[in-house]
Amino acid sequence: MSTPMTIMRLIKRIRITPTLYILFLMVPLYWLLTMALKTNAEILGGFSLWPANPTLANFKTILTDPSWYGGYINSTIYVALNTVISLVVALPAAYAFSRYRFMGDKHLFFWLLSNRMAPPAVFVLPFFQLYSSIGLFDTHIAVALAHTLFNVPLAVWILEGFMSGIPKEIDETAQIDGYSFSAFFTRIFMPLIGSGIGVAAFFCFMFSWVELLIARTLTSVDAKPIAAVMTRTVSASGLDWGVLAAAGVLTIVPGAIVIWFVRNHIAKGFALGRV
Amino acid sequence: MRGANWVAFEVKNITLTVGGEAYLSAVDACFTPGGFNVLLGPTLSGKTSLLRVLAGLDAPTSGQIVMDGPNQSKVDLTGVAVKKRSIGFVYQQFINYPSMSVFDNIASPLRVMKTPKADIHARVEKIADLLAIGPMLKRKPLELSGGQQQRVALARALVREADLVLLDEPLANLDYKLREELRAELPKLFNQTGSTVVYATTEPEEALLLGGTITLLHEGRTVQAGPTLEVYRTPNSLQSARTFSDPPLNSAPAVCSGGTVQIAGGPTYKDTLGLPDGAYQIGFRAHQLHVKKPSRNALDVSACVAITEITGSESFIHVDLLGQRWTALVHGIHPYSEGDQVTLYLDPADFMVFRQDGSAL
């Protein structure tokens, strides 16, 4: 086989345009990663494409300093709480919207989604005042509850779409077979919309994980999220670039892991289950 | 053999109104074990509604569902929760639990009833062999063909040997060959169980093949009920004859005076029924309209061919005459084309005569 032929084939197989596209997409991520592996001196010293002396010191700082890793723990706690609450509330709500007709159901359903159209900033003041006055300020549950305002409607919409794809006759067959409603719902129905639950959980997780404004306003010390920790790294010695970049890398990781699990269903989720 | 069950069901004066629209109006019917209870009617006649009411999936607006209880008592089923009843239901669509294996699908009603494990195995395997899905027990329903999926649904309805099994056009979504095959098996399968089986269909031919007893429904009302063949032979009204006729019933208005019946705009014949003078409706079936003179007494009419459908061994000739559209079902291939003038023969002995309002004499 001649060499030019092989090269031509290789070029054809690589597909130039998507390759370039992905390269450009990866540039900021790559830059974040290299910064995390550099020392502050190198970052500020000049332009370098890759770290001259790769170091894990920045990551070590984060994983050993409680004020840093505490942020991750706090974020994880309220995100998990929020995801669980959102799903527990949204599953029966979505089932009702999908299976029953009642007065004003369509309006209520749309109104749910319109909640998401308001920017979180609108709700910061009432949440802050309310939670302060009932003693929930600076707790994980406060942030989790505040985030359900945005996540429950979205979860209801996604789950309703998935549920409406399941014929009503399955519900009836289960009744005829003698299942109680709870047995039917958990043993037959939920496995059928498993991918929908996964996608809804992913969207709840993602929103709650990246949301900064509400999470920062409703916390001070005990429940301070990682995103808030990252925004106050200006110390007396200046900005700690390397540690900040390492924190950024660590923040991306959980999202990437969750995406991996729902990657096959995500498109349907974006279409709110209506594919 | 009599099963442990063997109970009859009766609906009394059932009315179902949904959003101001009457799906069922004062339906009375009785369904007995040992043989099929066929519900026949065109689409929207209320068959599915009646089945759903019988199952308890829909609550009737008014009326009662009653079943035989112990010692010849009657038990009122109206309002009893679906899961507390002993029923099986097979839909027109193939409804199975997609996430469970075929075995688990069939076993599901038994598991809910807490049947012992060994018992479940034996019963599921027996019913699966009967329905020829034995080798597929480990597969998921959606991996099977349509016919096999419906067999799974049938197996689930059969396995618990319920008092009442409701089949809502179970063969309608199957292809021709599978439908014939299953239709032949169904009576054998159900006759062993002692269940009361109600079978809804839109096809008069299917109703005749299944036999048993029949209830004719039209626009949410019972038209006629009784043994299938008897209802077919002696309809109690023009509507009954129309509902139980495929191809459609041929009919025409007629007037009797002095012992001679005149078909409106057409031939006359000597009355043999002793009809009083007055206006009537006559009806006869498509196979009773002939292209060759069948008997000495046959009347001849001249008609204009509208369309001819040839199935191979038979031809359906749709003709226009006397302001009516009639259909002749004749043997062999008769390739008439549109607009052809044909002479057709009909025998007054075949006529079903009704009063002008369509009721029986």
- Closest CA relative to residue B188, chosen from B232, B121, B230, B131: B131
Residue position matching structure tokens 């041929």: B250
CA-based nearest distance A170→chain B, Å:
6
| CATH at A102 | 1.10.3720.10
Task: State the pairing for strand pair B268-270/B341-346.
Answer: unpaired
**What does the alpha-carbon distance between residue B245 and residue B313 come to, in Å, rounded to a whole number?**
20
**What does the alpha-carbon distance between residue B226 and residue B241 come to, in Å, rounded to a whole number?**
13
Query: Which of B84, B89, B160 is closest, CB to CB, to A173?
Result: B89
Average pLDDT for chain A: 87
Nearest CA in chain A to B84: A178
Residue A189: DSSP 8-state? I
Contact A176 B89 (CB under 8 A): yes
Residue A174 in contact with residue A83, Cβ under 8 Å?
no
Asked if residue A48 is part of any domain, the answer here is no
Question: Chain A interface residues facing chain B, Cβ-Cβ under 8 Å?
Answer: 167, 169-170, 172-180, 183, 188, 191-192
| pLDDT interval class at B295 (50, 70, 90) | confident
**What does the alpha-carbon distance between residue A24 and residue B131 come to, in Å, rounded to a whole number?**
60
Asked if residue A130 is part of any domain, the answer here is yes
DSSP string across B8-54: -EEEEEEEEEETTEEEEEEEEEEE-SSSEEEEE--TTSSHHHHHHHH
Contact A177 B82 (CB under 8 A): no
Residue B96: DSSP 8-state? -
Contact B156 A177 (CB under 8 A): yes
- Closest CA relative to residue B269, chosen from B301, B244, B241, B237: B301
Q: How many CB atoms lie within 10 A of CB A46?
A: 6
Residue A50 in contact with residue A234, Cβ under 8 Å?
no
Residue B53 in contact with residue B28, Cβ under 8 Å?
no
Report the pLDDT value the prediction gives residue A237, as an integer from 0 to 100.
Answer: 61
Contact A188 B57 (CB under 8 A): no
Report the pLDDT value the prediction gives residue B1, as an integer from 0 to 100.
Answer: 35
Contact A179 B112 (CB under 8 A): yes
Predicted confidence (pLDDT) per residue in B72-84, tens digit: 788 888 888 888 8
**What does the alpha-carbon distance between residue A137 and residue A74 come to, in Å, rounded to a whole number?**
14
Asked if residue A19 is part of any domain, the answer here is no
Q: Could you tell me which residues are beta bridge partners of residue B196?
A: B164
Residue A142 in contact with residue A223, Cβ under 8 Å?
yes
Contact A180 B97 (CB under 8 A): no
**For chain B, how many residues are written?**
361
Mutation target vs B (from A168, A173, A195; most B CBs, 10 A cutoff): A173
Asked if residue A218 is part of any domain, the answer here is yes
CA-based nearest distance A165→chain B, Å:
13
- Closest CA relative to residue B157, chosen from B96, B88, B106: B88
Does the model's ipTM exceed the 0.90 cut?
A: no
Asked if residue A56 is part of any domain, the answer here is no
Query: Which of B83, B100, B156 is closest, CB to CB, to A175?
Result: B83
How far does chain A reach from its first CA to its final CA, in angstroms?
Answer: 47
DSSP string across A10-75: HHHHH-HHHHHHHHHHHHHHHHHHHHHHS-HHHHHH---SS-SS---HHHHHHHH-HHHHHHHHHH
Contact A176 B83 (CB under 8 A): yes
Asked if residue A35 is part of any domain, the answer here is no
Question: Which is more confident, A10 or B94?
Answer: B94
**What does the alpha-carbon distance between residue A213 and residue A135 come to, in Å, rounded to a whole number?**
20
Residue A184: DSSP 8-state? I
Average pLDDT over residues A126-147: 92
Predicted confidence (pLDDT) per residue in B14-51, tens digit: 999 998 889 999 999 999 887 889 999 998 899 999 99
Average pLDDT over residues B208-214: 90
**What does the alpha-carbon distance between residue A59 and residue A240 come to, in Å, rounded to a whole number?**
12
Q: Give the pair of three-digit tokens for residue B345.
A: 């023969």
Task: Look at the alpha carbons of A30, A35, A37, A38 in this order and tell me if their dihedral is positive or negative.
Answer: positive
Q: How many CB atoms lie within 10 A of CB B244?
A: 23
Helices (H), chain B: 47-55, 102-112, 117-130, 146-159, 176-191, 204-210, 228-233, 238-243
Residue B321 in contact with residue B263, Cβ under 8 Å?
no
Nearest CA in chain B to A175: B83
**What does the alpha-carbon distance between residue A162 and residue A195 come to, in Å, rounded to a whole number?**
8
Q: Above 60 in pLDDT, residue B189?
A: yes
CA-based nearest distance B348→chain A, Å:
49
pTM: 0.82
Q: Give the pair of three-digit tokens for residue A145.
A: 């509850």
Report the pLDDT value the prediction gives residue B2, as an integer from 0 to 100.
Answer: 40
Asked if residue A90 is part of any domain, the answer here is yes
CA-based nearest distance B170→chain A, Å:
14
Predicted confidence (pLDDT) per residue in B307-355, tens digit: 999 988 899 999 988 788 899 999 988 888 888 899 999 998 889 999 9
**What does the alpha-carbon distance between residue B304 and residue B307 come to, in Å, rounded to a whole number?**
9
Q: Which residues of B touch A188 (CB under 8 A)?
A: 97, 99-100
Using alpha carbons only, what angle is made at residue B212 by residues B52 and B161, rounded to the nearest 5 degrees?
55
Express as a percent the part of chain B with pLDDT over 90. Answer: 54
3-class secondary structure per residue, B146-180 = HHHHHHHHHHHHHHCCCCEEEEECCCCCCCHHHHH
Nearest CA in chain B to A177: B109
Query: Which of A167, A177, A191 is closest, CB to CB, to B93?
Result: A167
Q: Structural domain tally of chain A?
A: 1
Average pLDDT over residues A169-198: 92
Average pLDDT over residues B179-192: 84
Q: Which residues of B touch A163 (CB under 8 A)?
A: none
Asked if residue A10 is part of any domain, the answer here is no
Q: Above 90 in pLDDT, residue A98?
A: yes
Q: Which residues of A touch B83 (CB under 8 A)?
A: 175-180
CA-based nearest distance B99→chain A, Å:
6
Domain containing residue A133:
61-272
Contact A169 B91 (CB under 8 A): yes
Report the pLDDT value the prediction gives residue A235, as an integer from 0 to 100.
Answer: 62
Predicted confidence (pLDDT) per residue in B83-125, tens digit: 888 999 999 999 999 999 999 999 999 999 999 999 999 999 9
Query: Which of A180, A191, A192 is closest, CB to CB, to B83?
Result: A180
CA-based nearest distance B281→chain A, Å:
43
**What does the alpha-carbon distance between residue B55 and residue B69 come to, in Å, rounded to a whole number?**
17
